[in-house]
Amino acid sequence: MASAPYDLTPDLCDNHPDVRVLEPMLSNFGGNAVFGGEIVTVKCFEDNSLVKEQLGTPGNGKVLVVDGGGSLRRALLGDMIGASAVKNGWAGVIIYGCVRDVCALAELDLGVQALAAIPIKTERKGVGELNVPVTFGGVTFKSGEFVYADDNGVVVSVRQLENR
């Protein structure tokens, strides 16, 4: 286990040099600053229909990685969808895009990392892709791989890691 809970990703990088590391771009918004799990991917742009749908299903400790195209115009996650994620057992959500309701998200037992916050919600049109490889910040995320996140950054591995 990590020497301190907030030093998880540096320790994983030291102990597993084959991990892929996301470029520094995301900030923590959730109540859990340290989280990780098996990846499920969603690709969408300014439409959080699939995000809501997926986080409304059993998460079993998984992490939803959302490629929102880097849009800073609409929030892909807010308090109600975040609460649904907690209720359904998701460990976290990583969003290449925005969130809203940041005070409420900070109170949830959920890891949330995103580019920024904006108060504008999306229009739900049912557009998006599930379980496709998504690439942002110099890393490709694939469903079934594993992601680990904390205040130091985000690392991805093809296998589940133990910190020694």
pLDDT digits 0-9 by tens, 111-141: 999 999 999 999 899 999 999 999 999 999 9
The pLDDT score that the predictor gives to residue 106 is 98
- In sequence order, the β-bridge partners of residue 123 are none
Cβ neighbours of residue 40 under 8 Å, at least 6 residues apart?
Answer: 54, 59, 62, 63, 64, 65, 130, 131, 143
Burial (CB count within 10 angstroms: exposed 0-12, middle 13-18, buried 19+), residue 131: middle
Give how far the C-alpha of residue 37 lies from the chain's centroid of Cα atoms, to the nearest Å.
10
Confidence of residue 32 (pLDDT cuts 50, 70, 90): very high
pLDDT tens-place string over residues 52-85: 999 999 999 999 999 999 999 999 999 999 999 9
